[in-house]
Amino acid sequence: MEGSDEQLMLAYRGGDAAAFEALYRKHRGGLFRYVARSVRERRLAEELFQEVWLRLIEARERYVPQAKFSTWLYAIAHNRLVDHFRSSGLRSVEMMAEELPDPPAPAAGQPERKAETREQGARLIAALEAMPPAQREAFLLHEEAGLSVPEIAQVTGTDGEAAKSRLRYAVAKLREALKD
Amino acid sequence: MSEVDKELSERYRAALRDEPPAHLDAAILAAAQRAVRSQPRPAGAPRSLRRWYVPVSLAAVIMLSVIVTLRIERERPEIGVPDSVPVVREKEQKLAQQAPEPPAAAPVSPPAAVASAPVPKPASVQPAAPVFVPDPKPARDAAPEERQREDSLRSADAARGPAASGEAAGGNVAGSATSGRMRSEAREMSAPAAKPAQSPVPAKRERAPEEWLERIAELRKLQRDGEADEQLAEFRRRYPDYKISETMTERIAPRK
C-alpha cells in the first residue's frame, strides 16, 4: 500500500485496515527498539509496545495530521513510558535487570567481521545504557524514528536547545565508546 | 548530522536489530482490524450520493421560490382589488385622457373563474379595465407590465400633487402596502431554505485536558486515589500524545 504515513493513518481512520498494516510494518522495528532500549526488559518492552499501538488504534478517530505521523506515534510512546516510570515510582528511565538478547550475528564466512561487529555492538549497547535517559531517548528518537531536533523536542516536551544538546552529548559518548 | 554520525548510525543499526515477536504483530494487527470492524459507519447516504446534496438543495430552493412568487402573483388581485379598484381606475381614466391613443394590443381577457368573481364595478368604469384583471401569464412575463403600470401611476400622482396622493391614501397605499407585505412574505418564505439551520442548544462542550488534569489533581488532594487513577487512565486513552507539565505530573502522580 502506497502513500505517506499521514495518508495511511487517515485511510485507517476511515476504516482501511490494510493502511494500518502498512504503517505498522514500517514503524514496528523502530518503535520496538525505542521502547526496548528505554526499559531494557524484553517482556515489559513487548507489553508497552503493544499498549502504544493499542492507544494509537483507540485514538485513530481523533487523528488530525498536524505534524508527522512518526512524531505523533513516538509522542504516544514517550507518554506511555513516562506513565510507566511514574507508576513504578521511577523519576526517569531506570533500567531493569533482564538483558536484551544479543544482536543478530552477521553472515557466516566472515568470522573476523562477525567478531568485530559483536564487539562494537556490545560497546554501543554499554555506552547507550550508561548515558542519562534523556540523552539516550534523544538518540533513539533520532536513530529509530528519524526525527529532527525540533521533532525530538516536540515529542519529549522540551525546547529545541535542550533536545539538540542531549543529542549532541549522546552522539559524542557513543563515538567515544567506538574509539576504545 | 555529520559524516561521522552517519558512520555511527550505520554501526548502531548493524549492532541493534531487535524486532517485536510475530505473536505480537498478529495481536496488534488483529486489534486494528477488530477496531475497524466495530467502527460505526457514518450515518446518512453513501458518499456517491452526497455530491448531489448541494445541487439538489439549490434546485429545490429555486423551485420553491418560483412557486411562491407565482402563487403570490395569482392571489394578489383578490386581496388588492376591493380597496384599490376605484382609485386606480380613476387614475387609469386620467392616463387614458392624457394618452393620445389606446394601446394597440387588446387587453388580456380574464379567465372565466376570475371574471365571474364579484368585483365591485362603478358605473363610470369601463368593464375591460386591464389593470387589475388577473393575468394568467407567469410572473416573469407579468412583472415588466406591472412595473410600467406602477411607474405610470407614480408619475400621475406626481402630476396631481399632494392632494391627490392624500386622496389615494385610503386605497392605493393600502394596496401597495398589501403588495409590499406579500413580497416580504415571499422573501420570508424562501429565505429559511437558504439560511443554515441554527441549533437552539449549543453542542456539549468537551472537557479540556487542563481542566481534566486539575480535576485529577483535586482527587489526589482529596486522597481519592482510586478515582484519580481511573480518571488518569481515561485521560491517557483520550489524549495519548498530550504533554503533561512537570508541575502537573507531580500533582497527579500517585503518592508513595
pLDDT digits 0-9 by tens, B184-196: 444 444 444 444 4
Asked if A40 is an interface residue toward chain B (Cβ–Cβ < 8 A), one would say no
B46 contacts chain A (CB < 8 A): no
pLDDT grade for B152, boundaries at 50, 70 and 90? low
d(CA A172, CA A157): 23
For residue B46, report the phi and psi dihedrals to the nearest 5 degrees: -65, 160
Q: Is any Cβ of chain A less than 8 angstroms from the Cβ of B1?
A: yes
Residue B162 has pLDDT above 60, yes or no: no
Q: Return d(Cα B92, Cα A97) in angstroms, integer.
A: 109
- pLDDT grade for A61, boundaries at 50, 70 and 90: confident
Is A80 in contact with B55 (CB distance < 8 Å)?
Answer: no
Q: How far apart are CA B190 and CA B202, in angstroms?
A: 26
For the record, the C-alpha cell of B219 comes out as 482527587
Please identify among residues 92-111 of chain A the ones whose CB lies closer than 8 Å to any CB of chain B.
100-101, 103-104, 106
Which of A62, A47, A63, A67 has its CA nearest to residue A145? Answer: A67
Looking at the predicted structure, is the pLDDT value of residue B114 above 80?
A: no
> Is pLDDT at B77 greater than 50 in this prediction?
yes
Cβ–Cβ < 8 Å for A32, B18: yes
- Take residue A54 and report the three cell numbers written for it: 493499542
Joined together, the cell numbers standing for residue B198 give 441554527
Percentage of residues in chain A with pLDDT exceeding 90? Answer: 49
Q: Which chain A residue has its CA at the smallest distance from B37's CA?
A: A15
Look at residue B154 in the predicted model and tell me its pLDDT: 57
Q: Is the pLDDT of residue B25 over 60?
A: yes
Chain B segment 220-249 residues within 8 A of A by beta carbon are 236-238, 240-245, 249
Selecting from B15, B240, B241 the residue whose C-beta is nearest the C-beta of A103 gives B15
Q: Given this model, what pLDDT does residue A66 score?
A: 83
Cell of B22: 510475530
Q: Which chain A residue has its CA at the smallest distance from B18's CA? A: A33
Q: How far is A4 from chain B (nearest CA, A)?
A: 19
Residues A51, A13: Cα–Cα separation, whole Å: 18
Closest residue in A to B19 (Cα) is A29
Q: Which three cell numbers stand for residue B90?
A: 380613476
Contact (CB<8Å) B12/A143 = yes
Give the position of cell 509522542.
A75
Task: Output the pTM of the full model.
Answer: 0.53
pLDDT at B6: 79
CA B97 to chain centroid: 50
Contact, A141 vs A77, CB < 8 A? no
Q: Say if residues B2 and A169 touch (Cβ distance below 8 Å).
A: no
Does the beta-carbon distance from A28 to B25 stay under 8 Å?
yes
Determine the residue type at A79. N
**What CA dihedral angle connects A77, B5, B19 and B17, to 10 degrees?**
-160
Rounded-to-integer distance, Cα B38 and Cα B16, Å: 38
Q: Say which residues have a Cβ less than 8 Å from residue B131's Cβ, sequence separation at least 6.
A: B88, B89, B92, B149
Give B206's pLDDT tier (boundaries 50, 70, 90). Answer: low
Contacts of A125 (CB under 8 A, 6+ apart): A100, A103, B15, B16
**A86–B249: do the CB atoms touch at under 8 Å?**
yes
Take residue A96 and report the three cell numbers written for it.
Answer: 531493569
Q: Please tell me the distance from the alpha carbon of residue A81 to that of residue A83, in angstroms, as a whole number.
A: 5
Give the per-residue pLDDT at A147.
92
Amino acid at B170: G
User: B48 pLDDT band (50/70/90 cuts)?
Assistant: low
The fraction of chain B above a pLDDT of 90, given in percent, is 12
Task: Give yes or no for a contact between B179 and B139, defined as CB atoms under 8 angstroms apart.
Answer: no
Round to whole Å and give the CA distance between B73 and A11: 54
CA distance B1 to A116: 25
Crossing angle between the packed helical segments B53-98 and B139-160, to the nearest 10 degrees: 40
Nearest residue in chain A measured CA to CA from B245 = A157
How much is the pLDDT for A25? Answer: 93
Q: Per-residue pLDDT averaged across B67-96, rounded?
A: 67
Give the C-alpha distances (Å, rounded to integers) separating B170 from A100, A125, B154, B167, B173. Answer: 101, 102, 16, 7, 6
Instruction: Please check whether residue B64 is in contact with residue B193, taking contact to mean a CB–CB distance below 8 angstroms.
Output: yes
Determine whether the interchain pair B16/A57 forms a contact, defined as Cβ–Cβ distance below 8 Å.
Answer: no
The average pLDDT across B203-232 equals: 84
Q: Above pLDDT 70, what percent of chain B?
A: 42
Question: For residue B140, is pLDDT > 60?
Answer: no
pLDDT at B60: 93
Smallest CA-to-CA distance from A81 within B241, B51, B235, B200 is with B241
* Mean of pLDDT over chain A: 83
Task: Tell me which of A122-136, B180-194, B220-234 is least confident.
Answer: B180-194
Q: Is residue B137 over pLDDT 60?
A: no
Asked if residue B256 has pLDDT above 80, the reply is no
Which of the pair, B49 or B159, is modelled with greater confidence?
B49
- A119-123, B11-15, B145-149: least confidently modelled range: B145-149
Q: Does A125 touch chain B (CB under 8 A)?
A: yes
Nearest-Cα distance to chain A for B147, in Å, is 57
Statement: residue B82 has pLDDT above 60: no
- B8 — pLDDT class (breaks 50, 70, 90): confident
In sequence order, what are the residues at sequence separation of 6 or more whose Cβ sits closer than 8 angstroms to the Cβ of residue A161? none
- Residue B149 reports pLDDT greater than 90: no
**d(Cα B211, Cα B32) in Å, to the nearest integer?**
31
Q: What is the mean pLDDT of residues B7-34?
A: 87
Please, which residues have CB within 8 angstroms of residue A4's CB and are 6 or more apart in sequence?
A69
* pLDDT of B73: 86
Residue A56, pLDDT > 90, answer yes
Give Rg (Cα) of chain A: 17
A135 CB neighbour count, 10 Å cutoff: 20
The ipTM estimated for the assembled molecules is 0.82
